[in-house]
Chain A
Amino acid sequence: MSSLPIPPHAASAASADPQAPQAASLAEGRQRLRRLASVLGLLVLVLLPLISGGGYWTFTLGVCFANAIAIISVSFLVRYGGEVSIGHGVFVAAGAYTVAIVEKYLGLSLLASLPLAALVGGLLGMVFAFPSRHLSGIYLAVATMALALALPELLLHFSAVSGGYEGLYVKLDALPGMAKNLQRYYLPLVGLVVVALLLRQFRRSRQAMALLLIRTSAHAAESFGVRRSWARLSCMALSAAIAAIGGALLAFSSSTVSPNSFTLWTSIFLLVGSVVSLHSMSVAGSLVGGVFLTLMPLLLAGAGDWIPILYGTALLAVVLGVNALPAKLRARLEGGHA
């Protein structure tokens, strides 16, 4: 029985503002425009390999899409958990090695191993989150860094399974009948779009709202029945699962996994990508980070000893440039709400 009876007319009071219809139609128009731009952008990405005829740039963009998913995983942790990770390369590696190991030992392709990779990543995230559930801020960041530092050594220690220095190959077709270079482009692209759509749906859920409130005010959230430990475990597990999906697709698009691909720098660059993409979880926003992460080293490849300096300068230019933008435009680039 309701202790607080609700007047039947109460909900209709929302439309009391005479300016409301105008504002609503303006917002609707903007949304339609954004949708149109998204569809057009996606259409360009779908047609790109058919127009360009595949080749190096198709391969690079496939890697870029997979990196964008990994960047989304870090952004998810930042936006929903309010925490920073400099060890997400570990979860990416978990996904990548799951795909490679399943192929090597079970002979199954990416389509079969991708869900398993997500599950392994999620479980690993929970295993890490449980003992560290009372850590936050810089302490949690350092704990994630410890994971990233330990990973290459662990992979080398279990070289019988992981393939040691040489790593493992991912060769099986996921979509038989389609050219390999196109598979390596389209599957990460589909993965990125699906992850972005799932996260868009998630943003409207009660779980997302609870995570966002507990990030802002843990006491307030607890007073409404949200448990801190639940929030930390869920957030880290979901973030790690997304990272593992990114890793799985990265393994497929680059066709190889090795300890060199998952050093501490991998994790740091993922965080850099997340910052550059303004922690966006949309396709377009995460691609900004993915492009920066994948293409910037390639563009600077001829600069020799100047690479770190030029990379740092480019990073500073992006971060300072974004911060110099008007607050309204910045909020729009960030995608408004999480």
Chain B
Amino acid sequence: MSPTIVREADAPAVIDRGAEAQSPSLVVDGLALAFGGNQVLQGISLQLRAGEITGLIGPNGAGKTSFFNCLTGLYAPQQGRLQLGAVRLEGIAPPARAALGFSRSFQHVALCPELSIVENVMIGLDRQSAAGWLDAFLPFAGGRRERTRNRELALAALARLGIAQMADEAPLSLPPGVLRLAEIARAIAGEPRVLLLDEPAAGLNSVETHDLSTALMRLRSPQLVMVVVEHDMDLIMEVCDAIHVLNVGRLLASGSPAEVRANPEVVRVYLGEEDD
């Protein structure tokens, strides 16, 4: 099975280097990942552009989260090239990729229950923080200033998603939808260059999903590569500029929301026929 619409097949060869330095794209070329004999991803080639919101859709088990894990370095693909601007990513460990500006939310909420919501979000700013061990144990002015600044930035990220009033709550006392938004706040707090959101609308009600889609569109920025894995097709079609469809580890189709929606193969495999 080969992709029916692949606009990015030769993308790495046609990158505008001037624009690239300003807003680097994330280029994936020939990515393959297997666990034992199980081929999870195969021959994935695409370009994720800064300034756009890219949707990644597909049935369960298509390899969407594995693709994210390859991008953030949690999984090491057997084949393929990953490149952010001029930086090759293969062999770079997850913490170092975070330092390059990668940030993500998780399919299963991964907040620390012992930290308040705002403290969980402050972890998203850790890579930009400089407070050392002495600041950790002693109330020096520099450490206090940094902590205050980080708290303000974390509160701002929470406010952008409409949950700043829950900043000092413990995660265990809040509903799943709020936790998911808090995780997204953690992902955006640190001014990422690549933002990967794994099913951000899961567990949200329709009002929250609408607010989320507004927030995502506001986050769009010329310097930011944003990729959203999501099963809520209304959200995906509303916010995304480009969509890639994965099926059993292969790229099935790529294109604009209208192109993907009209693709018969995508409809057959994933979207399904509309009820009369």
Contacts and interface: CB of A to CB of B under 8 A. Distances in A.
A338 B112 CA distance: 11
Q: Which of B102, B126, B153 has the most CB of A within 10 A?
A: B126
B110 interface: yes
B119 interface: yes
B124 interface: yes
Interface string A190-215: 00000000100110111111101101
A14 B164 contact: yes
A interface, by DSSP: helix, strand, loop or mixed? helix
B115 A209 contact: yes
Interface string B173-202: 000000000000010101111000000000
B25 to A, nearest CB: 14
A213 B164 contact: no
Interface stretch (A55-63, A86-94, A218-226): A218-226
A338 B103 contact: no
Contact of A198 (B113, B137, B162): B137
B150 interface: yes
A309 interface: no
Interface stretch (B36-44, B217-225, B265-273): B217-225
B74 A222 contact: yes
B112 A207 contact: no
Interface in B33-52: none
A206 B222 CA distance: 30
Contacts of B126: 206, 209-210, 224-226
Interface in A219-271: 219-227
B123 A209 contact: yes
A337 interface: yes
B114 A337 contact: yes
13 contacts: A10-B156, A11-B152, A11-B159, A12-B159, A14-B165, A205-B136, A206-B146, A210-B123, A219-B106, A223-B74, A226-B95, A227-B95, A337-B170
A222 B72 CA distance: 9
Closest 9 CB pairs of A and B: A205-B136, A220-B110, A10-B159, A225-B98, A3-B223, A225-B127, A217-B110, A13-B159, A10-B156
Interface of A: 1-7, 9-17, 20, 79, 198, 201-202, 204-210, 212-213, 215-217, 219-227, 337-338
Given A20-B165, A217-B112, A225 B95 contact: yes
Contacts of A338: 114
B91 interface: no
Given A223-B102, A223-B104, A11 B155 contact: yes
A208 B122 CA distance: 12
B6 to A, nearest CB: 28
Interface in B96-137: 98-99, 102-104, 106, 110-116, 119-120, 122-127, 129, 131, 133, 135-137
Contact of A201 (B110, B139, B150, B219): B139
B172 to A, nearest CB: 10
B143 interface: yes
Contacts of A10: 155-156, 159-160, 164
A232 to B, nearest CB: 14
Contacts of B3: none
Given A209-B115, A212-B112, A223-B74, 16 more contacts: A2-B191, A4-B221, A7-B156, A10-B156, A12-B159, A15-B165, A20-B165, A206-B136, A206-B150, A208-B136, A209-B126, A210-B126, A212-B115, A219-B106, A221-B123, A224-B103
A285 B240 CA distance: 53
B12 interface: no
Contact of A223 (B98, B122, B150, B223): B98
Contact of A1 (B95, B123, B188, B223): B223
B145 interface: no
A82 to B, nearest CB: 11
Interface in B76-99: 93-95, 98-99
Contact of A213 (B112, B143, B156, B160): B112
A219 B155 contact: no
B1 interface: no
Contacts of B123: 206, 209-210, 213, 221, 224, 226
Nearest to A213: B112
B165 A17 contact: yes
A210 B127 CA distance: 11
B189 to A, nearest CB: 9
Contact of A204 (B98, B110, B147): B147
A131 B204 CA distance: 44
A205 B137 CA distance: 8
A68 B203 CA distance: 44
Q: Which of A9, A205, A206, A209 has the most CB of B within 10 A?
A: A206
A4 to B, nearest CB: 5
Nearest to A27: B168
Contact of B112 (A6, A205, A216): A216
B30 to A, nearest CB: 24
